[in-house]
Amino acid sequence: MANPSLLILAGDGIGPEVMAEVKKIIGWFGAKRGVTFDVTEDLVGGCAYDAHGVPLTDATMAKAQEVDAVLLGAVGGPKYDKLDFSVKPERGLLRLRKEMDLFSNLRPAQCFDALADFSSLKKEVVAGLDIVIVRELTSGVYFGEPRGIFVEGNERVGINTQRYTESEIARVARSAFELARKRANKVCSMEKANVMESGILWRDVVQEIHDKEYPDVELSHMYADNGAMQLVRWPKQFDVIVTDNLFGDVLSDCAAMLTGSLGMLPSASLGAPMANGRPKALYEPVHGSAPDIAGQGKANPIACVLSFAMALRYSFNMGDDATRVEKAVEKVLADGLRTADLMGPDGGTPITTTQMGDAILVALDASL
């Protein structure tokens, strides 16, 4: 049986630094768990533009289509801000998502007990928080046509179009319901059906899929603006939230900060199953490329490590090992080890990016 295959696209800024720690963990699985991954590496984002004049080459795109999963670091940086929109680093990531048809974006927001004091909300509001936002990723207002900046009369007009088909809504709804069955069996769907026709269709289709295929899952509906308020008021009322591309972008960042640090959060972007039954998949930390701290050993690799844990769970059917990695991270944090972004009023032991990766390896060894 072939080894599971991974394409690593470390990207820009702190991407290569945090990915280096993940590669150590991948090596640990080969040495200590007898699971060898076939790993290839390539360029995406600004580094790809520097080398090839485009943020993602056709050859790299072809590799992404062939492997079992893609693991991405981060893209972008101020040196690329003045590039034409068509070749900005972020276009490489958007191309991956679009051409791999990664329609379901899973954004967990989990608050580790050791970091509950880092949230701007009261500790009792966020302690033990464990929710997932499922964001539709390949349609909606970011992709709808017509779009652009046009001249009408004597002024410019910016146009973006919110567009969804029934099938696009149905497949991301199924993704959320399937996930809920593995968790607390509860889904809240968020849209703006009170003012948007696309929201009316969204609510109707989600309800239809629920009634026909997932009647065992508890389903509620909420306007997205109220959802944002409720996430701040009492986030633990939710378990799985499903929503469209634009609202999912906003709500998932809101949920991310409930946990206290953007450097802690992973994500998975999943598509339809391939011939081997595994979904097309891309895993990446939520944080950006943070060029201001790149190369200084200050980056927190945990979000990238947890993204690899998501790959173990969703692409490789290695749920127990995914939990093993997550528990190792939890142990390191409980021991008070902190990268720069996690240093707070409770003190803690300051460590570098590399030292955090090494500490996670020690905790993994202890788990055997």
User: Which CATH number belongs to the domain containing residue 273 in this structure?
Assistant: 3.40.718.10
Higher pLDDT, 347 or 18: 18
Residue 336: what pLDDT? 92
Mean per-residue pLDDT of the chain: 94
- Is the domain of 17 the same as that of 67? yes
Residue 117: what pLDDT? 83
Provide the 3-class DSSP secondary structure of residue 119. coil
Angle at 178 between CA 176 and CA 182, to 5 degrees: 110
Angle at 191 between CA 133 and CA 127, to 5 degrees: 35
Residue 263: what pLDDT? 72
120, part of any domain: no
Higher pLDDT, 92 or 1: 92
Catalytic-labelled residue, pool 80, 142, 283, 314: 142
- Is the domain of 292 the same as that of 207? no
- Is the domain of 163 the same as that of 102? no
Q: Which of 218, 233, 258 is the last residue of a domain?
A: 258
Residue 106 belongs to domain spanning? 1-111+264-368
Contact 304, 329 (CB under 8 A): no
24, part of any domain: yes
Confidence of residue 199 (pLDDT cuts 50, 70, 90): very high
- Is the domain of 28 the same as that of 76? yes
- Is the domain of 165 the same as that of 94? no
Say whether pLDDT at 115 is over 90.
Answer: no
- Is the domain of 308 the same as that of 339? yes
248, part of any domain: yes
Quick check: is 225 catalytic? yes
Q: For the chain, what percentages of helix, strand and coil (3-state, to nearest 5) are there? A: 45, 25, 30
- Is the domain of 238 the same as that of 274? no
Contact 297, 164 (CB under 8 A): no
Contact 339, 261 (CB under 8 A): no
Lowest pLDDT segment from 20-24, 146-150, 201-205, 274-278: 274-278
304, part of any domain: yes
Q: What is the pLDDT of residues 307-366, one digit of tens each?
A: 999 999 999 999 999 999 999 999 999 999 999 888 876 668 999 999 999 999 999 999
- Is the domain of 302 the same as that of 192? no
Q: Based on the structure, what is the number of domains in the chain?
A: 2
Say whether pLDDT at 1 is over 70.
Answer: no
Rg (CA), the chain: 20
What percent of the chain clears pLDDT 90, i.e. is strictly above it? 85
Q: How far is CA 289 from CA 18, 43, 77, 254, in A?
A: 10, 14, 7, 19
Quick check: is 142 catalytic? yes
Q: How far is CA 69 from CA 109, 153, 165, 271, 281, in A?
A: 22, 49, 27, 11, 5
Token pair recorded at residue 316: 């490789």
Contact partners, residue 46, CB within 8 Å, separation at least 6: 11, 12, 55, 75, 76, 77, 79, 80, 89
41, part of any domain: yes
- Is the domain of 205 the same as that of 268? no
Q: What is the pLDDT of residues 64-94, one digit of tens each?
A: 999 999 999 999 999 999 999 999 999 999 8
131 alpha-carbon distance from chain centroid: 13
Say whether pLDDT at 13 is over 90.
Answer: yes
C-alpha–C-alpha distance, residues 300 and 278, integer Å = 29
Contact 264, 302 (CB under 8 A): yes
225, part of any domain: yes
- Is the domain of 184 the same as that of 300? no
Quick check: is 192 catalytic? yes
| Tokens 């206290």, residue located | 260
Contact 55, 87 (CB under 8 A): yes
Catalytic-labelled residue, pool 130, 239, 253, 358: 253
Q: Which of 241, 258, 275 is the last residue of a domain?
A: 258
Q: What is the pLDDT of residues 240-278, one digit of tens each?
A: 999 999 999 999 988 988 887 777 889 999 998 887 888
Quick check: is 249 catalytic? yes
Q: What is the pLDDT of residues 208-226, one digit of tens each?
A: 999 999 999 999 999 999 9
- In degrees and rounded to multiples of 5, residue 2 shows phi and psi of -65, 145
Q: Which of 212, 242, 258 is the last residue of a domain?
A: 258
Q: How far is CA 316 from CA 6, 101, 309, 311, in A?
A: 11, 19, 10, 7
Q: Sheet harboring 104-110: ordered strands across?
A: 38-42, 5-11, 69-74, 279-285, 266-273, 104-110, 130-136, 240-243, 186-191, 218-223
Q: 9-44 b/e with 16+ CB inside 10 Å = b?
A: bbbbbbbbbbbbbbbbbbebbeeeeebebebeebbb
DSSP state letters, 303-349: HHHHHHHHHHHHTS--HHHHHHHHHHHHHHHHTTEE-GGG-BTTB-E
122, part of any domain: no
Say whether pLDDT at 47 is over 80.
Answer: yes
C-alpha–C-alpha distance, residues 152 and 169, integer Å = 33
Residue 253: what pLDDT? 87
C-alpha–C-alpha distance, residues 151 and 142, integer Å = 21
123, part of any domain: no
Catalytic-labelled residue, pool 88, 192, 280, 298: 192
- Is the domain of 248 the same as that of 147? yes
Catalytic-labelled residue, pool 249, 283, 314, 331: 249
- Is the domain of 280 the same as that of 239? no
Provide the 3-class DSSP secondary structure of residue 136. strand
